[in-house]
Amino acid sequence: MSYIEKLYDLKGKVAVIIGGTGELCSHMALGLAQAGVEVVLAGRNEDKAMDRMDMIEAAGGSGYFVATDLMEKGSLYALLDIVIERSGQIDILINGAGVNTAKPLFEIPTEDFQTILDINLTSTFQACQVFGQYFIEKNIPASIINLGSVAGLTPISCSIAYSASKAALHNLTKNLAREWADQDIRVNTLIPGFFPSEENQTALNESRILEILRQTPMSRFGDPDELIGATLLLASSKAGSFITGSEFLVDGGYNTMSI
């Protein structure tokens, strides 16, 4: 095996991907699976999970789906137990569940604001507690990748609750990176720019698409497969050995634009 192959060697690792049935995370799972990682898709939509698993298996990868209610800590502990029993270990955790509501401030009921915070922020907090405790107790040099957003760096329209939740998630990630650095647990935020997904299609009309393209120096949306390189880098304890607490942007340059 060459030096470069060793840097990115993830064969035999196990990744738990919460929100893994979603558009972006299923492509990140595909990339990990093609690198020899056993991928566990954790989520609520079994039909979608089966489609995603077909895609992964067709590419020569392996893994399975575990139905998980990410709002329930008990369900996260059950997920941990199932994966340890079935796969023997966990090395990588990806927190990728996310929701938005494209409404202006006065039209967002407090309960909806709270739900967005719960799904985008609190669920990751809980998953990091459950899996972080396991990584520490077992002395595992783990990688945690949280899915942030450019909306968490600077506000974007139609995303008040979403932006607030992602900004807090970026901050949570940095805190955990500090806390766990001496235990060899790396925690990073992977920040996608604009990628087409089922969720955000509903919020994208023609003028908004033009505005996004105008604000993106590469003048296009990302392809979900373009997240795979960053995922492998952050997941690898060799290639990514000194990367923790980072906000890793894959955004076609969106963050460089101010006017």
Ligand X SMILES: NC(=O)c1ccc[n+]([C@@H]2O[C@H](COP(=O)([O-])OP(=O)(O)OC[C@H]3O[C@@H](n4cnc5c(N)ncnc54)[C@H](O)[C@@H]3O)[C@@H](O)[C@H]2O)c1
* Positions in the binding site for ligand X (CB under 6 A): 19, 21-25, 43-45, 70-71, 96-99, 119, 147, 149, 192, 194-195, 197-200
Q: Give the number of C-alpha atoms closer than 13 A to the C-alpha of residue 59, restricted to the C-beta side.
A: 20
Q: Which is nearer to ligand X, 153 or 185 (CB)?
A: 153
Q: Which is nearer to ligand X, 45 or 183 (CB)?
A: 45
Q: Residue 63 CB, nearest distance to ligand X (Å)?
A: 15
Q: Residue 242 CB, nearest distance to ligand X (Å)?
A: 25
Q: Residue 219 CB, nearest distance to ligand X (Å)?
A: 16
Q: Which is nearer to ligand X, 19 or 132 (CB)?
A: 19
C-beta of residue 215 within 8 angstroms of C-beta of residue 254: yes
Q: Is 64 a residue of the active site?
A: no
End-to-end CA distance of the chain: 47
Look at the block and give the residue holding tokens 């101010």. Answer: 258
Q: Which is nearer to ligand X, 63 or 192 (CB)?
A: 192
Q: Given 3, 77, 134, 162, which residue is catalytic?
A: 162
Output the CA torsion sign for 167, 173, 174, 179: positive
Q: Which of 15, 19, 5, 25 is nearest to 225 (CA)?
A: 25
DSSP single-letter state for residue 216: S
Nearest residue to ligand X, scored by beta-carbon proximity: 22
DSSP 8-75: T--TT-EEEEETTTSHHHHHHHHHHHHTT-EEEEEES-HHHHHHHHHHHHHTT-EEEEEE--TT-HHH
Q: Residue 146 CB, nearest distance to ligand X (Å)?
A: 8
Q: Residue 212 CB, nearest distance to ligand X (Å)?
A: 9
* 248 membership: H or E segment, kind and range: strand 247-250
The amino acid occupying position 10 is: L
Q: Which is nearer to ligand X, 181 or 257 (CB)?
A: 257
Q: What is the rounded distance in angstroms from the CA atom of residue 48 to the CA atom of residue 114?
A: 26
* Positions marked catalytic: 162
